[in-house]
Amino acid sequence: MTVPSSTPFGSAGSAARHIAVVRHGETDWNLAGRIQGRTEIPLNDTGRAQAAETATALARAAGSLGPWAGLFASPLSRASETAEIIGRGLALPGPRIDEELWERDFGAAEGVCVPEAHERWPGLEIPDAESIDALAARTAGAFSRILAEAPGSIVVAHGAMIRAGLGRLTSTPMPRITNGEVWILSRSQGPNDSVPQHAAIRLDALGVLSAEEPRDPNMETAV
């Protein structure tokens, strides 16, 4: 589904009212199905290729959304390198590192394969980890701040935090966020709205705002 220009996602030539939220490219731990959290794991070659493909999709999307203004990234190298590759593809300066964009601290679950982690800690409620509620609040705050202060930016971060933050802002359960995936987050506020209304929609590989396609239900509990 293509979103018409009358939606809060804006259009070419209009002031940006959105940001692009991107999950970093693949790492070897992603490939192995291990929870990374704040463990420093670099991109692999597939992840670097995904970042370049994401830059192409964002370049195409600029025709309808307007030009991209800049880049923000998590301090973890898999996110900052993804942002650097995207920046080169879009002729943007290097990313600003934002300390609020860390992935969730998964505590003892870091390095554990996802099925085992779910078996040991149902719902991934891990005693020594950042709570899911705290993760959602932190991420929603970071996305809201960037959307208010630097609209039109590209924000490169992590799967669990993106899913939690977008879910909190839109009050909608989000699917698993895959490597290199892009979501466009917008905000609008009508005269009768006491708080801003947020919406998020996926950007496909062709740079088109798309309805969510079916996902493998067996993967929905992955991080």
Residue 6 counted as domain residue: no
Residue 13 counted as domain residue: no
Question: Quick one: angle between helices 77-90 and 45-65, nearest 10?
Answer: 50
Residue 12 counted as domain residue: no
Residue 126 counted as domain residue: yes
Q: What is the pLDDT of residue 87?
A: 98
Name the residue with tokens 């979103």: 3
Residue 10 counted as domain residue: no
**Which one is catalytic: 18, 24, 158, 198?**
24
Domain range spanning residue 122? Answer: 18-212
**Which one is catalytic: 26, 81, 84, 103?**
103
- 158 is a catalytic site residue: no
pLDDT band, very low/low/confident/very high, at 211 (cuts 50, 70, 90): low
Q: What is the pLDDT of residue 3?
A: 32
Residue 222 counted as domain residue: no
Residue 73 counted as domain residue: yes
pLDDT value at 41 more than 60: yes
Taking the C-alpha atoms of residue 83 and residue 75, their distance in angstroms, rounded to an integer, is 11
Q: State the pTM of this model.
A: 0.88
pLDDT-above-90 percentage for the chain: 78
Taking the C-alpha atoms of residue 71 and residue 198, their distance in angstroms, rounded to an integer, is 21
Taking the C-alpha atoms of residue 208 and residue 104, their distance in angstroms, rounded to an integer, is 29
Query: Can you give the CATH number for the domain in which 81 is found?
Result: 3.40.50.1240
Q: What is the pLDDT of residue 25?
A: 98
Strands 197-203 and 70-73: unpaired
pLDDT higher at 196 or 32: 32
pLDDT value at 222 more than 80: no
Residue 71 counted as domain residue: yes
CA 184 to chain CA centroid, nearest Å: 9
How many structural domains are present in the chain?
Answer: 1
